[in-house]
Structure 1
């Protein structure tokens, strides 16, 4: 999980949030069940497109790239079932994989990646993401979302293997100039926020690359 920054609110939401919310609230107050369409207008294509850009097409929680295997769910950070006012609020919407969205359900207390940097709250050990034992919310988030579920461990291990292959290419570079370019690519591109499992990549590069470069520079 990495820090995320909210993008500009889509115009469709700016223009309609109040009206959409009022329709749902008035029906509930009258004892009438709102229709599925009325309750799910946050799934509008323009809103989802903005969330895809904002999250780089990744799950806001587990950092899996979504669009090559699934549509991705528009997720409510604070459960919509707890307050109708949260139903269409831009600041309460993000993108999540169906697994994280399902595991989270209507739970509260899961770390909000927009409310601060979650990376320091976890220690990454290879493909595993370990919460700080003293951080109750981090512990809850890891367990509730099952951030070390087998499929995620497998995908993160594949990411580490790929990065290791890039390090081996760097080690065998014929010139110092090429080595510098490859090192910069690892530092800046492979660890950027748009990359799948960026937090895992950042830990790997920060741990492995300095040692490798120091050995290569030694006489």
Structure 2
């Protein structure tokens, strides 16, 4: 997980979110069930495309590339099931892989007890040891986030481990390369810490150790 920054609200939400929300609130007040179309307008392609852009094409939580783990689900940070008023709230929307989205479910009402990568810098809450992302000691919110999302599930640890091995191999090439080539190779290595790279948090933690 890395720090994320919210992009500008899509025009479709600027123009329609208030009206869409009122429909849901009226349904709740009348005791009637909204239709799937009324509930799911947050999945509009214009909304999803901006979310994919702001998350660098990755799950906002585990940093899996979306095309590597599915097409991604539009996710509500604070669950809409407990507060329909946040269903179309731009600051409450992100994108997640289907595993993280399912694991999170309707937990963390109003975002309480959750490390939100838009509001918090995950580097302040988690430590990275090898392929593991662990809550810092005494940080209950981070521990709950880690365990709920299963941030160290087997498939993630395996893929992160491969990432670390690839970084190690790049460092080995740099050490053996002629001096004239090292600058270019180091520039290539530094690309691995950019936000659009899968598991950027892992690379940011591991590369300094590998270079020592």
* TM superposition score normalised by structure 1: 0.92
Q: Which runs of 5+ in 1 are unaligned?
A: 212-219
Which segments of 5 or more consecutive residues in structure 2 lack a partner in the other structure? none
Counterpart secondary structure, 2:195: coil
Partner in structure 2 of residue 42 of structure 1: 42
Return the alpha-carbon distance in structure 1 between the equivalents of residues 35 and 8 of structure 2: 28
Which among 124, 129, 142 is matched to residue 133 of structure 2?
129
1:52-107 superposed Cα distances (whole Å, 9 cap, x missing partner): 10101100000000124411000000111121111001100000011100010011
Give the corresponding residue for 2:143. Answer: 139
Residue 101 (structure 1) aligns with = 101
Q: Is the CA contact (8 Å cut-off) linking 2:69 and 2:97 kept in structure 1?
A: no
Task: Specify which of 186, 189, 204 is matched with residue 186 of structure 1.
Answer: 189
The residue aligned with 1:10 is 10
Measure, in 2, the Cα distance between the counterparts of 1:130 and 1:202.
15
Are positions 1:33 and 2:33 aligned together? yes
2:63 — aligned with what?
A: 63
Equivalenced residue count is 208
Say if 2:139 is the partner of 1:114: no
Counterpart of 2:88 in structure 1 is 88
Tell me how far 1:18 sits from its aligned partner. Answer: 0.3
What RMSD over aligned residues (CA atoms) do the two structures have, in Å? Answer: 1.0
TM-score (norm: length of structure 2): 0.95
Following TM superposition, the consecutive aligned residue runs of length 4 or more in structure 1 with deviations greater than 3 angstroms are none
- Bigger CA radius of gyration: 1
2: CA distance, partners of 1:112 / 1:146: 15
